[in-house]
Amino acid sequence: MSDPADLTATELLAAYRAGTLSPVEATEAVLARIGRDDPKVNAFCLVAAESALAAARASADRWRRGETLGALDGVPVSIKDVLLTRGWPTRRGSTTIDPSGPWEEDAPSVARLREQGAVFVGKTTTPEFAWKGVTDSPLTGVTRNPWDTSRTAGGSSGGAAAAVAAGMAPLALGTDGGGSVRIPAAFTGTFTLKPTYGRIPHYPASPFGTLAHVGPMTTSVADAALLLDAVCGADGRDWSSLPPPGAPFSGTAPAGTAPAGTGPGDLTGLRVAFSPDLGFASVDPDVAALVAAAAEVFAELGAKVEQADPGFGDPVADFEALWFAGAAKVVEHLGPQDRARLDPGLLEICEQGARLSAVGYLTATARRMELGRTMGLFHERYDLLLTPTLPIAAFEAGAEVPPGSPSRRWTGWTPFTYPFNMTQQPAASLPCGFTAEGLPAGLQVVGARHADALVMSACLAYEHARPWKAKRPVL
């Protein structure tokens, strides 16, 4: 048998059922992998080996008795350090947060994983208050890419993505306010879905408002489906949370809500738009070729694929207005001494956001709603939109932008991600190959609001046609 740390959650659960592996053995393997490789990657800001092993032993006992708590009983999982986790500090990458607590409450998604018997191995790194698309912070330093530790893992869920890619837990919870699960998934060759806003309840409410989503980060579509099933559904603490979806994401993968597509390996009749650049972005030729080849796979699977742009210009100014105002809200309670300890880039955008007027904010909101209208009409013609997840591969770790970037901010190199936070649509990133330098590239699959099942089904079809799991970084 291969190292249990390299198994997916689906494979672990099958082994638990067969009695060929126990949750204790799986957790020990994951902890050993963390001990061996995390010093090179820095994906974790907290590792709880003792409590993880205790939880694994309790799970093993439940499996022996045939009394498991849920579908994820005994599966190791990591939690991004912006999600409340009872008994552990949630410091959000900031030295300004007192770790002493008390920490008495779980975020909704964390609570549901705990109820399912998942084994929490630790908390993963984030940039300070999850403000940017790479992962480094005054609290935890730089998180690196398992494929090349001189490169960034992306962000802001960079620790979660690096942990999954390196086999330091098969499941991870991340968050995404402007690309924060999709950016690191593309850079690390992992799978993720930013679901429709409200699909996974979020509490406390993000200071970035209705841009921020919770999302699963995994090595396979099936694992993401398992995680989604565990954490979806309404929660009274989140006034915008949605009821449970009509059918589970796991098991026999759903074909989606569109009439096209008859199963996970067949996309016949699906109307798919492929936009290489959204009409305004510049894409590295290596990445562009990989994404174009991936779009061809959808045609091979029966989809009707046409090259088409959605018809909007770069909404970066409006996104930054909303994002920078949210950042200003994050730190409004901090005095001068604490502000001096912040990431300098964060402090800079906070100062910009604090100068934004209410009318300016509402203007950006109105343009956001117009963008949503544009995409709503676009999806009357097309079931899915395919784009690159990112226009580049991973660049130097510790920098906010790649060398030669015309923009000082991370939004300058993420033109494909933040528009779909503004529209609240489901958007997945799946691995679609490697550049000449051996770095992963990602394909983004976008659906209409509430078409999460269709996005997942299409991604599963692609995964069956072009499996990626066997490709793992070697540290």
* Domain positions in the chain: 4-465
The confidence score (pLDDT) of residue 251 equals 64
Annotated active-site residue in 156, 157, 206, 275: 156
Nearest to 267 by CA among 466, 467, 460, 469: 460
Which two three-digit tokens encode residue 258? Answer: 């569109």
Question: Is residue 156 annotated as a catalytic residue, yes or no?
Answer: yes
pLDDT > 70 in the chain, percent: 97
> Residue 326's pLDDT is what?
98
Q: Strand 427-434 and strand 191-194: pairing?
A: antiparallel
Handedness of CA 407, 410, 414, 417 (dihedral sign): negative
b (16+ CB within 10 A) / e for 176-188:
bbbbbbbbbbbbb
Q: What is the pLDDT of residues 1-24, one digit of tens each?
A: 489 999 999 999 999 999 999 999
C-alpha 15/C-alpha 367 separation (Å) is 50
Residue 95's pLDDT is 98
Q: Which pLDDT value is given to residue 254?
A: 37
Q: Of the listed 78, 137, 180, 241, which one is catalytic? A: 180
Closest listed residue to residue 83, CA positions, set 111, 55, 102, 56: 111
Query: b vs e for 47-82, b when ≥16 Cβ sit within 10 Å of the residue's Cβ?
Result: bbbeebbebbbbbbebbeeeebeebbbbbbbbbbbb
Tokens of 327: 């950042």
| pTM attached to this predicted model | 0.96
Alpha helices (H) in 66-124, listed in sequence order: 108-115
Q: Whose CA is closest to 167, among 311, 38, 347, 341?
A: 38
Catalytic residue among 59, 78, 80, 194: 80
Q: Which CATH architecture has domain 4-465?
A: Alpha-Beta Complex (3.90)
Task: Classify the C-alpha dihedral 49-51-56-61 as positive or negative.
Answer: positive
Structure tokens at 381: 């013609």
Low-confidence ranges of the chain (pLDDT < 50): 1, 252-263
